[in-house]
Homo-oligomer: A and B are copies of this chain.
Amino acid sequence: MAVANQETDGRRLRGERTRAAVLDTAVELASTDGLDGLTLGRLAGRLGVSKSGLFTHWPDKESLQLAVVERAREQWAERVVRPALDGRGGVRALWALHERRLAFYAEGVLPGGCFFLTAQAEFDDRPGPVQDRLRAQLQEWGGLMTSLAQDAVRAGELSPGTSPGLLAYELDALGQAAVTRSRLLDRQAVFAHARNAVLLRLRGLCTDPGLLPDS
């Protein structure tokens, strides 16, 4: 029985890994062509597999779109959130999130720069399950930054007059604007602006300069 269970677990694990790998490719495609430009046919073509194999997992376009949003969310958690929070809280975590995010864009993890920017622009005027999932992701992400800012105020790291919700909006705006601008304008200047803007903003509110890098 133990052996059988191990075999089943092994198969399940391999199945999950394959599924994640397929969805990683789907997130890449959607980051350039949008979620609506993503079809099972294009995905199968890119992966060199049959369309019918994918069809078993995602029988319609919406189920594929929902799985792709979820995979993009996991990818953001793995690449940005978890490494940034690793042992950090408050202001240090807010700064690390920003640096990790800019590195995600600068390293070209996704050919389109940011899956969420493309998907938000595509679905912000189309109510339905995909929009709901994108909204939930945005709330979770904004909520994380707001809660870190609240912790930082409570811990005395940020001045008492700081509005955590406003600060979260600012950090998110200043980070996200780098995506398209770094691709259309002077890349180095844009990433420098994105970094310096948040560093200046946090320094202006922070009671202990030692919590942030010197430059």
In the bound complex, how far is the Cα of B189 from the Cα of A163, in angstroms? 12
Instruction: State the oligomeric state as a number of copies.
Output: 2
In the bound complex, how far is the Cα of B169 from the Cα of A174, in angstroms? 8
* Chain B neighbourhood of A194, CB < 8 A: 169, 173
Please tell me if A166 contacts chain B, counting CB pairs below 8 Å: yes
Given A166-B197, A169-B193, does the pair A185, B124 have CB atoms closer than 8 Å?
no
Q: How extensive is the interface on chain A, given as a class? A: 35 or more
Please tell me if A83 contacts chain B, counting CB pairs below 8 Å: no
Q: Are B173 and A176 in contact (CB under 8 A)?
A: yes
Min Cβ gap A158→B in Å is: 14
Q: Are B165 and A189 in contact (CB under 8 A)?
A: yes
Binding site for B on A (CB under 8 A): 32, 34, 111-113, 117-118, 120-122, 124-125, 131, 134-135, 138-139, 142, 163, 165-166, 169-170, 172-174, 176-177, 179-181, 183-185, 189-190, 193-194, 196-197, 200, 204
